[in-house]
């Protein structure tokens, strides 16, 4: 091994769940960037957005992406918006294979609806059309991925197997 596996994609595509299982299979460390930011700041992501705004949260993401780019043998689940700052992808790509997880908008809505209060950018947007619009706006950022996998209608272990088949000899 040596390289990190960096999972990007929209919220609700399975980055954390798949990342955790992928790290278990590879016997390496799993890092969820949102959870790590919560540890560092002592606030939930929702609290950071509410108290300090999105700019502060994105600043924390940049600092963490810089730090993680210096590490090896990690599976990193990024936050959905990490791609909005080009510096993050540049840093994470230094020592990482970037994998984008995709899902159909209706599947994303179903997956995140229960957690809408925890998803600051979905608080007022909770329709398939809203998700389609956000996905369209972010698509240009997701093209930086080395590989893409669709997680709709698949079990977590099936997606993990697909990823391992493709990337095993590249990490």
Summarize pLDDT for 27-86 with one digit per residue, the tens.
999 999 999 999 999 999 989 999 999 999 999 999 999 999 999 999 999 998 899 999
Q: What is the pLDDT of residue 126?
A: 62
Which CATH architecture fits 4-158?
A: 3-Layer(aba) Sandwich (3.40)
Q: What is the pLDDT of residue 124?
A: 53
Instruction: List pLDDT tens digits, range 138-157.
Output: 999 999 999 999 999 999 99
Query: Above 90 in pLDDT, residue 101?
Result: yes
CB of 35 within 8 A of CB of 128?
no
């Amino acid at each position: 091994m040596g390289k990190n596996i960096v999972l990007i994609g929209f919220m609700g595509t399975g980055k954390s769940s798949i990342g955790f299982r992928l790290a278990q299979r590879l016997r390496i460390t799993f890092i969820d960037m949102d959870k790590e930011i919560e540890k560092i700041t002592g606030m939930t992501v929702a609290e950071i957005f509410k108290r300090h705004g999105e700019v502060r949260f994105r600043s924390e993401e940049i600092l963490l992406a810089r730090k993680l780019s210096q590490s090896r043998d990690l599976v990193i689940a990024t936050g959905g918006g990490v791609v909005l700052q080009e510096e993050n992808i540049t840093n994470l790509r230094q020592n990482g294979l970037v994998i984008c997880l995709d899902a159909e908008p209706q599947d994303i809505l179903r997956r995140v609806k229960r957690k809408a209060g925890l998803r600051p950018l979905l608080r007022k947007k909770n329709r398939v059309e809203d998700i389609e619009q956000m996905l369209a706006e972010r698509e240009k950022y997701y093209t930086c991925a080395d590989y893409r996998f669709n997680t709709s209608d698949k079990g977590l272990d099936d997606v993990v197997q697909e990823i391992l088949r493709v990337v095993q000899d590249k990490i």
